[in-house]
Amino acid sequence: MSPPVPKLEPTLAPLTPSGSTAVPTTPLPLLVRAAITGGRPAVLAAALALSAPGEYRLAVLAGWDWRFALIMPGVLSLYASVAAAIAGSLPKGSTERKQANAGALIALALAMTAQVASHLIEAGYLDKSPAVVVAVSAVPPLVAAHTLHLTAAATRLTPKAVRVEEPVSVPAPAVQESLETVAPEPSRQNALTAPPVPSVPLVTPVMEADEHEASEEPQEADEAPEDEPEVTEEPEPVTEPEKPRQELTQRDRIDQVIRALYDELGNRRPATRHMVAALTDAGLPNSEGTARESRKRVELAEPHLKDLPDAIAA
């Protein structure tokens, strides 16, 4: 027989979140990493410093106080930075990324326009007009609204970290060794046991005196006494003491009198006069209010009585 050929399984390269195959990369040189880490904020700071005077003058020109006008350069520069950072973190081809790119371009255009307009006004080529004031005044709310929209889109599309729980290996239960002895099979046990030895009856001399005494014993001794039937005594029945009857209250007696009227009137609802007369005959409180309250209690206990036709008062 030929030796078995080992089965080769194809190995797949890991995929990136975008779906492309991850390619191993070499670390960047130290100078490149330093330029990325320190150069990027330096360029942003320099651009902010150069664009700040023009944006400040436009804010003062639009009517802001000088203390609030100092915030205008930060608004435009930070808006451009935030939009560019969000655009880089969103998936390629998504609508939100396109909007973030557009926001970064708009912020850049606003900063450039502010610089150009400020220098044109200072050089005397452009006069202060209502259109310039309106455009500059509308910058802060538009920037705030678009920034909130971009951050909400980035939060919604950024995948959340999923906690992957490592599988817990459960050790296999140890096999307990049985300490019980196994009984041999019947066939094997019979084969191992020695053959039985025939029993030899013992011969003992019988004494004549013993035979004579045995003959004189009555034969009744050999007979076993008959078992007499056992008489079982039946236990006497236990009688529970009678519970004292609870006396009816006056309210219960009134309800009994009113309930009996339904039967006496032929399954009809008694009128107030009927109930007052019955309570008077029974020697109970006979006011109309007492009679009506009792009828309510009776019909609450037996709801079908309320649907009976009313009896005509005599």
Give the 3-state secondary structure of residue 106.
helix
Would you state the pLDDT for residue 247?
80
What is the distance between the alpha carbons of residues 117 and 128, in angstroms, rounded to a whole number?
Answer: 10
Residue type for position 140: P
Q: Is 245 helix (H, G, I), strand (E, B) or coil?
A: coil
The 8-class DSSP code of residue 70 comes to T
The confidence score (pLDDT) of residue 25 equals: 65
Q: What spatial distance separates the first Cα and last Cα of the chain, rounded to whole Å?
A: 121
Give mean pLDDT in consecutive 10-residue pieces for the chain, a chain of 314 residues. Answer: 56 51 68 81 78 83 87 81 78 79 78 80 79 82 83 67 52 48 48 53 49 49 57 66 74 90 89 90 88 91 88 64
State residue 169's pLDDT score: 58
Beta carbons of 304 and 298 less than 8 angstroms apart: no
Predicted local confidence at residue 293, as pLDDT: 92
Write down the pTM of the prediction.
Answer: 0.37
Distances 44 to 50, 51, 114 between C-alpha atoms, Å: 10, 11, 17
Q: Is 55 helix (H, G, I), strand (E, B) or coil?
A: helix
The domain limits of the chain are 37-157, 250-307
The whole-number pLDDT of residue 206 equals: 47
* DSSP assigned state of 155: H
Nearest to 153 by CA among 97, 82, 80, 81: 97
Looking at residue 161, its pLDDT comes to: 46
